[in-house]
Amino acid sequence: MTRPLVGVLALQGDVREHIAALNDSGADAMGVRRPEELDKVDGIVIPGGESTTMSKLLEIFELLEPLRQRLSDGLPAYGSCAGMILLASEVLDTRPDAKHLNAIDMTVRRNAFGRQVDSFESDLEFTGIDGDPVRAVFIRAPWVERVGEGVEVLARVPHSEGQAADRIVAVRHGSLMATSFHPEVTGDRRVHDLFVDVVRGRA
C-alpha cells in the first residue's frame, strides 16, 4: 500500500508528535514552512498552538494564500485544536486581525473550554473509529457551535461533562477533518489512521 506524503505545518505546536503519529499511521511526513514544501504534499496537518499567532506566521512565511488555494483545490487537511480554528469559516472570541482559512463551513468558539487550568480529558465515541472510545485531551480547546450543510459531526463531549456536554469536538467535510483535542499526545493513532486513509483515497 502506498505511503502518501503528508505535511505538518511547522510554525508552532506539536509538530514532531504529529510527524511521529503520521509515520506510525502509514504516511511519510515532513514539516512544512515554505510554499514550495506545501506544493509537494498530498495532505496537510495543522497542529495545535495559538491560533492568532499561527495566522500571523502564515502571513510572515507567505503560506496563507497558497494554503487557502490548495485547500480550495481539494488538498486533504486535518486540524487539531488551533488547527480547527484556522480551518473554520467563522471564529468567535478571537482578535479582529486574526486570519482563518475558510475551509470548513462551521462556527468555532476559541478557548471555549476555558483557560489552561480548565484543560481536561474525556472518552469520546467517534464516528468512523471502531473499538474503544477515543481518549481526548483538551487543552484550552475550542468547540464547534454551528456546522454547515454537508459537515459531518464525528464526536461530541459526553453527557457527563457538565457545561461542555454535547458540544461538537470533531467534524469532517469531505477530505477535511478537525478535532478540538490533541490525539498526537495519547499514543492512540486511530484519528491519524483515519486521516491518512482520507489522504490515500484522495491521492
Domain boundaries defined on the chain? 5-202
CA angle 135, 138, 139 (to 5 degrees): 145
Q: Which cell numbers in the block locate residue 61?
A: 512565511
Report d(CA 46, CA 187) in Å as an integer.
Answer: 18
Domain 5-202 has CATH 3.40.50.1820: no
pTM of the model: 0.94
Catalytic residue list:
81, 182, 184
State the chain's mean pLDDT as an integer. Answer: 92
Residue 117 clears pLDDT 70, i.e. is over it? no
* Confidence band, pLDDT 50/70/90 cuts, at residue 118: low
- The yes-or-no verdict on residue 79 having pLDDT over 70 is yes
Q: What is the pLDDT of residue 177?
A: 98
Give the confidence band of 112 by pLDDT, cuts at 50, 70, 90: confident
Q: Residue 49's pLDDT is what?
A: 86
For residues 158-167, give the mean pLDDT.
Answer: 76
| 98 CB burial (10 A radius; 0-12, 13-18, 19+) | middle
Confidence of residue 190 (pLDDT cuts 50, 70, 90): very high
> Is residue 132 predicted with pLDDT exceeding 50?
yes
Q: What are phi and psi of 84, to 5 degrees?
A: -60, -45
